[in-house]
Amino acid sequence: MLRLSEIAPGGVCRVAGLETRGAMRRRLLELGLVAGTKVECLGRSPLGDPSAYEIRGTVIALRRRDSAGVLVRPEELPWD
């Protein structure tokens, strides 16, 4: 298992769980980061923070400290 912040641009994964609490947990859940959701890392800003992710057809930006609280499982692409 990895953290969402460890997924490289172009990487695809599925949410396994959240390690955050309070308002940030609620925000991540509202964005659709629930167990089983597919997430793709689209890229990082020039300084490496924040990163852009596609979640359920929507692109969002998350800071590294926030995405580190999301546990994920890498997903193998069919052509790999």
| pLDDT computed for residue 16 by the predictor | 96
* Domains detected in the chain: 2-74 (2.30.30.90)
Q: What is the pLDDT of residues 30-56, one digit of tens each?
A: 999 999 999 999 999 988 899 999 999
**Distance, CA of 33 to CA of 77 (rounded, Å):** 20
CA triple 10-20-71, angle to 5 deg: 35
- What pTM does this model have? 0.88
Residue 8 DSSP SS3: coil
Count helices and strands (H / E) in the chain.
Answer: 2, 6
2: left (phi over 0), alpha (psi -120 to 50) or beta: beta
